[in-house]
Amino acid sequence: MAGGHDHAHDHAHDHHHEESFITKYIFSQDHKMIAKQYLVTAIVMGIIGIGLSALFRLKLGWPDAQFPILEALLGSDAAPNGELQANWYLGLVTMHGTIMVFFVLTGGLSGTFSNLLIPLQLGARDMASGLLNMISYWLFFLSSVIMVISLFVETGPASAGWTIYPPLSALEETQPGSGLGMTLWLLSMTIFVASSLLGGINYIVTILNLRTKGMKMTRMPLTIWAFFVTAVLGLLSFPVLVSAVVLLLMDRGMDTSFYLSEITTSSGALAQSGGSPILYEHLFWFLGHPEVYIVLLPALGISSEVIATNSRKPIFGYRAMIGSILAIGFLSFIVWAHHMFVTGMSPFLGGVFTFTTLLIAIPSAVKVFNYITTLWKGNIKFTPAMVFSIGMVSTFITGGVTGIILADSALDISKHDTYFVVGHFHVVMGMSAILAMFAGVYHWFPKMYGKMMNKKLGYVHFWLTIISGYGVFIPMHFTGEGGLPRRYYDNTEIPMFDHFMDLNVLISVFALIGVIGQVVFFFNFFYSAFRGPRSSQNPWQATTLEWTTPVDHVHGNWPGALPEVHRWPYDYSKPGWDEDFVPQTVPLKPDEEEH
Amino acid sequence: MNSLLILIAVVAGVAAIIQLVRLNETASALRKEKTEEIVTDEENNFMAWGFLIFMFAFFGFTIWLMAKYGMGGLGPAASVHGEDTDWLLKLNYWIILPVFFFTNALLFVFAFKYKYNKNRRATYFSHSNKLELIWTVVPSTALAVIIFMGLKTWVNIMFTAPEEGNPMVVEAYAEQFQWTFRIAGENNNLGDADYKLICPAFEYVDDHGDTVKFGGNPMGIVTKETVLAKLAHIDQLVATLNSDLVKATGANGDFFEPDEIINAKMEQIEILNTLKYRIESGIWPTVMNDTSSTNLAGMDDIYVPNDIYLIKNRPVTFKFRSKDVIHSAWFPHFRAQMNCVPGLQTSFTFTPNYTTKEFAELPETQAHYKEINEIHSEMQKSLGEEVENVDFNFMLICNKICGAGHHNMKRNIIVVEEGEYEKWYECEDFKEVTPVTPRLDIMGRPVVYEGWNSTSDEKLINHTNMAVENASKTVEPEMEIVDPVVSIDSTMNAIDSSMITDAHAPEQP
């Protein structure tokens, strides 16, 4: 499958082209097709996820108004007379969180770009195992379908928040959403994790074994480093989520009591006792925190690549960037309990986790300053991908500094679970990661479809996205500072928060603008995929290997021999060369230093 | 018809956009920009200026929000440690806000300044150990300060010795969707509680043949009386179930009713017997003796189904328990928060240092509530309702998603001087000081009680207060335990509904 340089192999490839529709477009084992499948699935899931947020923002912005559209979309059980019901509000919030975190930002971001770029940027013919890769996608697809189906269950989807803490998620009598909807959620997540593990193993094996000649680990683009650490994080943390989910399923269906203790519900004293919901929280966040970096590292990798290419400058501090990716990856495993400062966990542990959490700010600061130095004295081309990457760095700064407040256990006492938290993690995950994902789509669209996306629509999309994003999430920090708890169906029940009424309207207006902005992207994406102008082989004049492949995809990526790598991927504007970029395949001049 | 028109309009709009985009592309292909640049100078300039303008707009927006809502927008802290927390927060902001503005400004200004120019070449600058060292060491130093100060405050808050300052002990009991309290009574020692003893109000005949009117045990407090009552309650339920089964049995041993019902009843009997066994073997031995410490600790506890009173400048240790799911007790003004976890007792100690009255008179609070009341009166006028003013109160609200009524799970906390507290404590006025929150069912709707045909919250509240009073009258003198509302959590609601609703039959106000 990989690394064959001989002619027989290449010849054999020519015969693989006669593929049926099914093997080419549906059950494809080609990593480029799988990447596109991931992307399209994620875009569809993203539309659902962001659409749900628009629906519940209507309720939060105008708590007393009636919206016939809600009844039309969700049915008369969920929104009789256009008034969203409390259970459905929680259901929408839960599904929005789950879909965005797992299906868009994990499956979509890492699935799309790891699959597309790992073989292309390393000079491999395909992933180590095409079959596993295909199974991984189809499991992802299956879990997406199950998750969407759970929206149509009569008792409503899972509604315990995306973290589904038991006992709320374990006992059907505590809320209707903990019935069939929750079962489907758990089933879907189990399949999702299986998909992520198959994908992750494949990425790691490919990166370690299938690099082309000359592609040393220290010559890999930062995207690949990010995908590599991401895959390792996923491999180590996702199984813990499965164990948490399986124990929860057993508590729900088999009368075990891993998480249940001393509970009285409407059906009386529960016989199950002796467990602890805190156990679930530990297991969940042992995944949950690395998950944040599973989302963020690929975003940082993509931005590194896009910023260097479009600044026409080498990324500043390549080795420091690798070091900070590794440091973030390592630290992400020892910070999970900062989500649990006020759960009654030992205060001593709280102190320890404050310390480790704040340490993460150091490698993050290094990354930010390296990005900024990369721009300094650059020659910046504002391609759509570049503007999204600059937006990404800005949101990474903004979300990073507010994280410092939340990491401090003494301050978290009065910030925990308020809108301050919602604002913080949306700036980081909902903006940084999403903006980087868009940057990736605009940048590698020519590689995926051989066509160019429309630039002007890209700019419109960017401005709508960043303005509405900051417009939604910056005010949330202030309502959170005022103590407003998250996941409140109606913020007006408690009078002390009523002075935020105007602000809530403002947030909702920006949220709706944001949704409209995504329609622009949606249109641009599908229009360009079919009708966009044909791209050249290397439209951004980049140095990495993927731009040495032909515009039209071939199975095996390079029609001839695999390229050989002679230099690192960031030789932009190198003195001694006329062109302002030197591809990795160009040998060093006799007296040239690598970098 | 309307929707068809809208559909046509949308389709036409999309088609128009497609045509425009194609036209634009054809035009640019015809122009075939000589430079072959992927981004034109015009676009590049536009975006560069865009970033600069965006930076000012973004900073302006943030500063406007800071000016209008304030950092630490909760107003002054009302507890001793809260003042330290607020100081720490301010320190953090003094560190992070300059970083936020400075770094964002560098980013956008560089983006503006180094926009593409075909006559210029970017500087090949790939690394500098000196720079890397600077931006590792400087953030590390700042973080060292933040970590040190943070941990110092954290230790002060969390590691107070249990007896320090003779704290008052109060239990907050969370359930879907309300808070109830228990104060420790004369001995300042909370008695044990066990979820197995939770029991509605009912009547039974004891071993001596006396009729006992039991006021209910909504928090599961462990005393001899509550254990005996719970056992009697279980016996009653089992007896009812058994007689149901006997009635449903024909002469030949067949059942008249469907199997599911019969099986459910048999299963219930088994569950109840197990529960009884667990109470008899696990709890009963600790309270058998009237003078056992468990019994004495629990006897004088006072159940407060209403707003709770605290004393200014006296530390209070809140102990938290939950009946059903995880809740979180969030006291915004006291900067205190702790989760209520079923199966785990958690606690938080703080010292309120303002009375409610004093705090309400602070200029910040006055301004805050003036604004709120203006908003309210505007809304109420527009709805044609009577204008009502809200007054300031310290609050306890739920801050962990717990179901449909999560947003409405609240209580007032009233801080008074010691003398006033004694008055409240002595005269038992606390049962009618403030209306209790209407109960919500799991769908988040207010519970409408049987025989109760009004849906008005206000009436519901009055009714609930009456229920509290009525119930308290039926309680034996030393037992302050009452069930304020019709318990929807009673064991086997469906099966013994007649018995329970009789005991609680609400009166029309």
Nearest to A489 among B58, B325, B407 (CB): B407
Neighbours of A34 (CB within 10 A): 25
Q: Which amino acid is at A71?
A: E
pLDDT tens for each residue of B17-58: 777 767 666 666 655 544 456 888 899 999 999 999 999 999
Interface of A with B in 159-178 (CB under 8 A): 160-161, 165-168, 171, 173-176
Angle between the N-to-C axes of helices A455-481 and A384-407, in degrees from 0 to 180, rounded to the nearest 10 = 10
Neighbours of B14 (CB within 10 A): 12
Residue B387, both tokens: 């204008």
The stretch B316-337 carries a mean pLDDT of 94
Contacts of A276 in chain B (CB under 8 A): 341, 343-344
Give the per-residue pLDDT at B399: 94
Give the per-residue pLDDT at B476: 37
CA A271 vs CA A248, A506, B266, B270, B367: distances in Å: 16, 48, 16, 11, 52
Closest CA to A150 of A103, A83, A198: A103
Interface of A with B in 174-213 (CB under 8 A): 174-176
Neighbours of A461 (CB within 10 A): 26
Which residue of chain B is at minimal alpha-carbon distance from A262?
B343
Task: Determine the distance in angstroms separating the CA of B101 from the nearest CA of chain A, rounded to an integer.
Answer: 9
pLDDT tens for each residue of A126-144: 999 999 999 999 999 999 9
Which residue of chain A is at minimal alpha-carbon distance from B377?
A498
Contacts of B359 in chain A (CB under 8 A): none
**Cis peptide bond prior to A167, omega within 30° of 0:** yes
Contact A165, A285 (CB under 8 A): no
Q: Establish if A483 touches chain B: CB-CB under 8 angstroms.
A: yes
Contact A354, B154 (CB under 8 A): yes
Asked if the Cβ–Cβ distance from A262 to B195 is below 8 Å, we say yes
Contacts of B492 in chain A (CB under 8 A): 267-268
Burial of A481 (0-12, 13-18, 19+ CB in 10 A): buried
Predicted confidence (pLDDT) at residue B451 exceeds the cutoff of 70: no
Asked if residue B84 belongs to a domain, the reply is yes
How many domains are there within chain B?
1
pLDDT tens for each residue of A18-61: 667 777 778 888 999 999 999 999 999 999 999 999 999 999 99
Give the per-residue pLDDT at B32: 53
Closest CA to A131 of A222, A199, A70, A52: A199
Give the per-residue pLDDT at B260: 86
Asked if residue B260 belongs to a domain, the reply is no
The stretch B123-148 carries a mean pLDDT of 92
pLDDT tens for each residue of B466-479: 444 444 443 333 33
**Preferred mutation among A379, A421, A457 to probe B, highest tally of B CBs within 10 A:** A379
Going by DSSP bridges, is the β-strand pair B316-322/B168-175 parallel, antiparallel, or unpaired? parallel
Higher-confidence residue of B480 and A417: namely A417
Among 3.90.1710.10, 3.40.50.10490, 1.10.10.10, 1.20.210.10, name the CATH number for the domain at A7-15+29-261+273-548.
Answer: 1.20.210.10
Asked if residue B421 belongs to a domain, the reply is no
pLDDT tens for each residue of B308-323: 999 999 999 999 999 9
Q: Which amino acid is at A386?
A: M
The stretch A541-553 carries a mean pLDDT of 93
Predicted confidence (pLDDT) at residue A17 exceeds the cutoff of 80: no
User: What is the rounded average pLDDT for all residues in chain A?
Assistant: 92
The single residue listed with the structure tokens 């359930």 is B175
Length of chain A measured in residues: 595
Asked if residue B385 belongs to a domain, the reply is no
Which residue of chain B is at minimal alpha-carbon distance from A466?
B54
The stretch B385-397 carries a mean pLDDT of 88
Buried b (16+ CB within 10 A) or exposed e, A117-128: bbbbbbbbbbbb
Bridge partners (DSSP) of residue B311 are B416
CA A273 vs CA A257, A343, A446, B217, B401: distances in Å: 6, 19, 58, 20, 22
What's the half-sphere exposure (Cβ side, CA atoms, 13 Å) at A157? 26
The stretch B122-140 carries a mean pLDDT of 92
Give the per-residue pLDDT at B191: 86
Give the per-residue pLDDT at B4: 63
Buried b (16+ CB within 10 A) or exposed e, A136-168: bbbbbbbbbebbbebbebebbbbbbbbbbbbbb
Asked if the Cβ–Cβ distance from A413 to B157 is below 8 Å, we say yes
Interface of B with A in 59-118 (CB under 8 A): 61-62, 65-66, 69-74, 82, 84-85, 88-89, 92-93, 95-97, 99-100, 103-104, 106-108, 110-111, 114-117
Asked if residue B355 belongs to a domain, the reply is no
Task: Determine the distance in angstroms separating the CA of A513 from the nearest CA of chain B, rounded to an integer.
Answer: 17
Closest CA to B109 of B56, B70, B177, B72: B56
Share of chain B above pLDDT 70, in %: 78
Give the per-residue pLDDT at B262: 86
Neighbours of B383 (CB within 10 A): 9
Report residue B342's pLDDT band, with 50, 70 and 90 as the boundaries: very high
Interface of A with B in 349-368 (CB under 8 A): 350-351, 354-355, 358-359, 361-362, 365-366, 368
Nearest to B403 among A175, A314, A316 (CB): A175
Contacts of A464 in chain B (CB under 8 A): none
Alpha-carbon span B493 to B484, nearest angstrom: 17
User: What is the rounded average pLDDT for all residues in chain B?
Assistant: 80
**Preferred mutation among A64, A383, A411 to probe B, highest tally of B CBs within 10 A:** A411
Alpha-carbon span A462 to A452, nearest angstrom: 17
Asked if residue B14 belongs to a domain, the reply is no
Burial of A532 (0-12, 13-18, 19+ CB in 10 A): buried
The stretch A389-397 carries a mean pLDDT of 96
Contacts of B390 in chain A (CB under 8 A): 495
Which residue of chain B is at minimal alpha-carbon distance from A310?
B116
Give the per-residue pLDDT at A555: 85
Say which range, A244-258, A530-544, B375-389, has the weakest mean pLDDT: B375-389
Interface of B with A in 192-231 (CB under 8 A): 194-196, 198, 220
Burial of B83 (0-12, 13-18, 19+ CB in 10 A): middle
Residue B45, both tokens: 């300039």
Alpha-carbon span A366 to B131, nearest angstrom: 10
Predicted confidence (pLDDT) at residue B205 exceeds the cutoff of 70: yes
Asked if the Cβ–Cβ distance from A470 to B24 is below 8 Å, we say no
Q: What is the ipTM of this complex?
A: 0.93
Contact A248, A169 (CB under 8 A): yes
Alpha-carbon span A293 to A241, nearest angstrom: 15
Alpha-carbon span A418 to A485, nearest angstrom: 4
Q: Establish if A572 touches chain B: CB-CB under 8 angstroms.
A: yes
Alpha-carbon span A119 to A100, nearest angstrom: 27
pLDDT tens for each residue of A229-274: 999 999 999 999 999 999 999 999 998 999 999 999 887 888 888 8
A387 contacts: CB under 8 Å, gap ≥ 6: A458, A459, A462, B47, B51
Interface of B with A in 375-414 (CB under 8 A): 375-376, 390, 392, 395, 397-408, 410
Give the per-residue pLDDT at A425: 95
Which residue of chain B is at minimal alpha-carbon distance from A595?
B126
Predicted confidence (pLDDT) at residue B190 exceeds the cutoff of 90: no
A402 contacts: CB under 8 Å, gap ≥ 6: A420, A423, A424, A427, A477, B96
Residue B325, both tokens: 């799911």
Contacts of B69 in chain A (CB under 8 A): 478, 481-482, 500, 503
Interface of A with B in 223-282 (CB under 8 A): 260-269, 271, 273-278
Asked if residue B178 belongs to a domain, the reply is no
Residue B218, both tokens: 């909504």
The single residue listed with the structure tokens 């009680």 is B449
Q: Establish if A414 touches chain B: CB-CB under 8 angstroms.
A: yes
Burial of A81 (0-12, 13-18, 19+ CB in 10 A): exposed
Closest CA to A375 of A121, A572, A113: A572
Alpha-carbon span B423 to B443, nearest angstrom: 39
Alpha-carbon span B217 to A489, nearest angstrom: 31
Predicted confidence (pLDDT) at residue A468 exceeds the cutoff of 50: yes
Residue A60, both tokens: 């939060």
Asked if the Cβ–Cβ distance from A350 to B100 is below 8 Å, we say no
Task: Determine the distance in angstroms separating the CA of A29 from the nearest CA of chain B, rounded to an integer.
Answer: 33
pLDDT tens for each residue of B57-110: 999 999 999 998 887 667 899 999 999 999 999 999 999 999 999 999 999 999
Asked if the Cβ–Cβ distance from A86 to B405 is below 8 Å, we say yes
CA A82 vs CA A56, A66, A506: distances in Å: 12, 5, 21
Closest CA to A460 of A414, A404, A519, A511: A519
Q: Which residue range forms the structural domain that includes residue B52?
A: 41-118
Nearest to A174 among B58, B176, B407 (CB): B176
Closest CA to A463 of A429, A438, A496, A495: A438
Helix (H) or strand (E) holding B28: helix B2-31
Q: Establish if B368 touches chain A: CB-CB under 8 angstroms.
A: yes
Contacts of B31 in chain A (CB under 8 A): none
pLDDT tens for each residue of A83-101: 999 999 999 999 999 999 9
Nearest to A168 among B37, B401, B444 (CB): B401
Closest CA to A405 of A464, A344, A477, A334: A477
- Count of A-B CB contacts under 8 Å: 402
CA A522 vs. chain centroid, Å, equals 18
Residue A412, both tokens: 């978290």
Contact A92, A56 (CB under 8 A): yes
The single residue listed with the structure tokens 């969920």 is A78
Alpha-carbon span A313 to A209, nearest angstrom: 30
Task: Determine the distance in angstroms separating the CA of A34 from the nearest CA of chain B, rounded to an integer.
Answer: 28
Asked if residue B46 belongs to a domain, the reply is yes
